[in-house]
Chains A and B, each alone.
Chain A
Amino acid sequence: MQRSNDLILKTTTTIIVFIIMGFSIYLFFAGHNAPGGGFIGGLMTSGALVLLYVSYGFKTMERVIRFDFKNFIPIGLLIAVLTGVGSFFFGQPFLSHTDAYFELPILGHTHLATAILFDLGVYFTVVGVTMTIILNIAADEGEEELSKQNM
């Protein structure tokens, strides 16, 4: 099948993906004091990635993104569980979190909490699960077409 030239789609995608990614990272960090957090941040990132897959196609993206999204799931789970286990070393009950204020070079007076690490785990898991589901279903479709062509 001749592929139509979606120049407009591809050009806008390259710009918009950056905006969506930025917004997803903003949502991820905003979670403590405003609506947002790991879950919606992860979904938003997956949204950006899906937009890339839609406009550039499966094969191109395979060359650009070389890691397997399936691995994101155990990585995220591991981060989340280990932040819980970390409290063991300070003699605290499982999943205890702590926070403190730091003077950082650019950001100034900043409130840092270990809860963000747990959120990071959630973020990775959500990205992994969403992308695995979408890409696997998409891959199934491709296989069918491939087998049709071979017939």
Chain B
Amino acid sequence: MSNLVILPILLPLLTGIFLVFFNSKLPLVRMITKVMVIINLIAVSAIAYEVVQNGTMVLKAGDWTVPYGIVLVADPLAMVLVVTANIVATACAFYAFHSLDEQRERFYFYPLFQLLIAGVSGAFLTGDLFNLFVFFEVLLIASYGLIVLGGTKEQFRESFKYIIINLFSSILFVTTVSFLYAVVGTVNMAQLAERVGEVEQGGILTTIAILLLVVFATKGALFPLYFWLPKSYTVPPTVISALFGALLTKVGVYSILRVFSLIFVYDLTFTHQLFIILAAFTLIFGVVGALSTNNIQLIVAYNIIPAVGYMILGIGVFSATALAGSVYYLVHDMIIKAALFLLVGAMAAYSGTSDLRKMGGLIKHQPVLGWLFFIAALALAGLPPFSGFVGKLLILRGAFEEGHYTVAVIGLLTSLLILISIIKIFIKGFWGEDKLEKVPNISIRNKIMPAAFLLFFTVLLGIGAEFFYPTVQSIGDQIIDPINYIDSVMKE
């Protein structure tokens, strides 16, 4: 039944509402969260399996016919991302029980967490540009609450910048949607895709496309608009950084992917050429940032930016191979960024500092953490047995096939620099002389487990690439030829 499509949004939303009622009973809240994230993960996986097997599911909210009502579209691309987001959410929820102080948990961490998941799932599933804006706001307002939760001085300073920049891009989003509505006369994505070719307003539509690009580039941290990201992602507690790093920028990337493969595909030479240039700069500047600092959390936060660069490169190249690569890399990056943030958080909690120069010899005390981090570092850089390899390979192969040699070489070199930036943490933090003054008497086993859970999926996606590849390839084919998407929305 088509009502299944609403479940990934409805379950976390209802859970979040119920958690507000029980807010004073913390053990109960934790238990409900634990049970509900798992139920949600199972439900979402079941729906995704159904969608991949039987094709796109469409829910017309309120039973209104398509261009007039709101549609939720669960196509394979959206469902794959929703499942990944829920895997990350599950790991983060279990990490939160053991890392957050009680004060923060009492001030509505779990309801905000659930609303964030509802917003992210909604943004992936919606088939309507204005509803995309609404779900963006749902997840952003939840993230405003989370980023300032706890109220330390740094959090106030960074959250102010974060809120201002996001508010500005949201205003621009609404303005752009109104421009598009004035030109085309609809906000339904499938109908937009049909009409954009018909209205013959090339110039103004390209302008609107670029405005939308500015909006999503701000949310997704693309080259000139990434400056707000690194600091504001490192000031909140680890688990919130992990959620932000894994989910929020990826929603921006997904929006670019969706909008520029479905709606604005009539002037590829301009828009997608621009993507490739932006991707090149994003790759370079992101990795330079990651190399520039000794703060382990900041290194991971800066590494979000080149990853976004790879995905945008895949979208810019715009061949089925490169788009499949972007999707694979998107899934990989959501998981690996969450895992890295959690591992780095465990490191910082154990050694009591996040400054790399004050660390050393952790491998003697925490061998499991060390080797897990090593795996995560290799996966991030894209070494063969792990998931990062497949995505990068597809993107770069696509780039070489389409003749974008310069940017492909930049991509390869950036991989090397990413490896240097991340393995620096391993070499300086885990090897070398023991700089711990006294062995801290804290167990971080509970913090390692969620990260290990995420790394399991990294390894699975890497080793089982043979198994996942056909699905991803078919998603890539569907993105480049959106007739399937348009038909499944418009026909009913």
Contact = CB atoms under 8 A, between A and B. Distances in A.
- The majority secondary structure among interface residues of chain A is helix
A81 B14 contact: yes
A74 B17 contact: yes
Contacts of A97: 62
A73 interface: yes
Contact of B6 (A71, A77, A91, A94): A94
Interface in B27-75: 59-63
Given A93-B62, A94-B6, 14 more contacts: A71-B21, A74-B20, A77-B13, A84-B10, A85-B10, A85-B14, A93-B2, A93-B3, A93-B59, A94-B59, A94-B62, A95-B61, A95-B62, A96-B62
Contacts of B59: 93-94
A81 B20 contact: no
Contacts of A84: 10
A113 to B, nearest CB: 12
B363 to A, nearest CB: 47
B61 A94 contact: yes
Contacts of A73: 20
A71 B37 CA distance: 24
B361 to A, nearest CB: 47
Contacts of B2: 93
A63 to B, nearest CB: 22
A57 B2 CA distance: 52
A110 interface: no
Interface of B: 1-3, 6, 10, 13-14, 17-18, 20-21, 59-63
Interface of A: 71, 73-74, 77-78, 81, 84-85, 88, 91-97
Contacts of B21: 71, 74
Q: Which 10 A-B pairs have the closest CB atoms?
A: A74-B20, A94-B6, A95-B61, A95-B62, A96-B63, A74-B17, A77-B17, A93-B63, A96-B62, A78-B17
A127 B2 CA distance: 34
A81 B16 CA distance: 12
Contacts of B13: 77, 81
A71 B20 CA distance: 8
Nearest to A88: B3
B20 A94 contact: no
Contact of B63 (A71, A85, A88, A92): A92
A73 B111 CA distance: 12
B10 A94 contact: yes
A93 B17 contact: no
A96 B17 CA distance: 21
Nearest to B14: A81
9 contacts: A74-B20, A77-B17, A81-B10, A81-B13, A85-B10, A92-B63, A93-B59, A93-B63, A96-B62
A84 B6 CA distance: 10
B368 to A, nearest CB: 40
Contacts of B3: 88, 93-94
A85 B3 CA distance: 10
B29 to A, nearest CB: 13
Contacts of A91: 1
Nearest to B72: A94
B42 to A, nearest CB: 19
Contacts of B17: 74, 77-78, 81
A104 B167 CA distance: 48
Given A74-B20, A74-B21, A88-B3, A93 B61 contact: yes
B223 to A, nearest CB: 38
Contacts of B63: 92-93, 96
B58 to A, nearest CB: 10
A118 to B, nearest CB: 10
Q: Which of A78, A84, A91, A94 has the most CB of B within 10 A?
A: A94
B402 to A, nearest CB: 42
B12 to A, nearest CB: 11
Nearest to B9: A94
A81 B1 CA distance: 19
Contacts of A71: 20-21
A31 B147 CA distance: 37
A39 B103 CA distance: 33
A37 to B, nearest CB: 17
B79 to A, nearest CB: 17
Contacts of A92: 63
Q: Which of A71, A77, A91 has the most CB of B within 10 A?
A: A77
Contacts of B14: 78, 81, 85
Q: Which of A73, A74, A91 has the most CB of B within 10 A?
A: A74
Contacts of A95: 61-62
B69 to A, nearest CB: 9
Nearest to B108: A70
A81 B18 CA distance: 12
A91 B63 CA distance: 11
A52 to B, nearest CB: 25
Contacts of A77: 13, 17
A96 B63 CA distance: 6
Nearest to A79: B17
A96 B13 CA distance: 18
A13 to B, nearest CB: 32
Nearest to A82: B14
Contacts of B10: 81, 84-85, 94
Nearest to A91: B1
A71 B21 CA distance: 7
A95 B59 CA distance: 11
